[in-house]
Amino acid sequence: MNKAVLEFSSRAENVAFARVAVAAFVSQVDFTLPDLEEIKVVVSEAVSNAIIHGYENNPDQVVRLEMSIADEYMELVVIDRGKGIEDIQKALEPAFSTDPERMGLGFSFMQSFMDKFKVQSKPGQGTRVKMSRRAGAPRRAVVPEQ
Amino acid sequence: MNYTIKKENNCLVVAPTGEIDMSITDALRRDVDRALEQSQVYNIIFDLAGVSFVDSSGLGVILGRYKKVSAAGGRVFLTGAGPQVKKVLELSGLLTLLEEHPSVEYIISKIS
């Protein structure tokens, strides 16, 4: 297994950095370009959630991103130590958002573009989103574990 | 990421380029809203031909403008979406709310 860990400030400009870093790392696995585009969406959504919801746009916190690859498989864990999610079930509902300018589709995209998806969160302690995907595997929207 | 916003006939044409994520959406939202107020038009065309990446933050800007102008009788149109952008648009359900057409010129001729 090949692993990499990134920790970066919870700043908006680091969302693009995270996308590019993950795409570069997992490109060692035989993902197609459309696969990599989907993985970039997933990274963008998870890191944006950590910054916007976890840290409420405080730029001085830290987002941790753990990635690993083995054979034709990638796993990604995005961790914040922010405010956490009160009701994970509700947060996972498509189009649920606390902000009328947002679509509430972040978790939907993560579920659609990954094979496995798990959210762990406690109010006041932060959120951990773990996702994985196998190259070349047919995918369907997964029922999230909690 | 950059964008142009210009008025053409009774439309505001918004043409972003590059990647749209949360690092740009506040500015994009603010500038489109300001242009709507100044131009006094209520139709928006998002020309997405130059967009290489969009996530739900970017789609939120489009949805928010749709809610805003549709309340005033306006419409929002999309054109030029490449494969990645098209995929997230389809998954989001936005294409059921908004009209997608082949070109800016076509849309302007259609509604002018």
**Average pLDDT estimate for A119-133:** 96
Q: Tell me the nearest-neighbour CA distance from A103 into chain B, angstroms.
A: 5
In whole angstroms, give the CA distance from residue B45 to residue A27.
35
CB contact under 8 A, A40 and B53: yes
Residue A55 is assigned to a structural domain of this protein: yes
Instruction: Give the model's pLDDT for residue A96.
Output: 61
Instruction: Give the model's pLDDT for residue A141.
Output: 53
Angle between helices B83-92 and A33-49 (to 10 degrees): 50
Whole-number mean pLDDT of chain B? 94
Q: Which of A13, A15, A41 to mutate to test the interface with B (most CBs of B within 10 A)?
A: A41
For the stretch A25-70, pLDDT in tens is: 999 999 999 999 999 999 999 999 999 999 999 999 999 999 999 9
- Are B63 and B20 spatial neighbours (Cβ–Cβ below 8 Å)? no
Interface of B with A in 4-33 (CB under 8 A): 19, 21-23, 29
Query: Does residue B84 surpass a pLDDT of 50?
Result: yes
Alpha helices in B1-112 (DSSP H): 22-39, 56-70, 83-92, 104-111
For the stretch B15-57, pLDDT in tens is: 999 999 999 999 999 999 999 999 999 999 999 999 999 999 9
Q: Is B5 helix (H, G, I), strand (E, B) or coil?
A: strand
Q: What is the number of domains present in chain A?
A: 1
Residue with tokens 């969009």: B54
Based on the residue annotation, tell me whether A45 is a catalytic residue of this protein.
yes
List chain A residues with CB under 8 Å of B93. 95
Which structural domain, as residue segments, surrounds residue A124?
Answer: 2-134
CB contact under 8 A, B23 and A13: yes
Residue A123 is assigned to a structural domain of this protein: yes
Question: Hey, what amino acid is at B33?
Answer: D
CB contact under 8 A, B84 and A34: yes
Q: How many CB atoms lie within 10 A of CB B73?
A: 8
Both tokens of residue B40? 């006094």
Residue A143 is assigned to a structural domain of this protein: no
Q: Which residues contact A46 (CB under 8 A, 6 or more apart)?
A: A76, A78, A106, A110, A129, A131
Which residue of chain A comes nearest to B83, CA vs CA? Answer: A34
**Average pLDDT estimate for B69-94:** 94
**Average pLDDT estimate for B80-87:** 94
In whole angstroms, give the CA distance from residue A106 to residue A94.
9
- In this prediction the ipTM stands at 0.92
Based on the residue annotation, tell me whether A102 is a catalytic residue of this protein.
yes
Helix (H) or strand (E) holding B8: strand B2-8
Q: What is the CATH number of the domain that holds A104?
A: 3.30.565.10
In this structure, CATH architecture of domain B2-111? 2-Layer Sandwich (3.30)
CB contact under 8 A, B19 and A16: yes
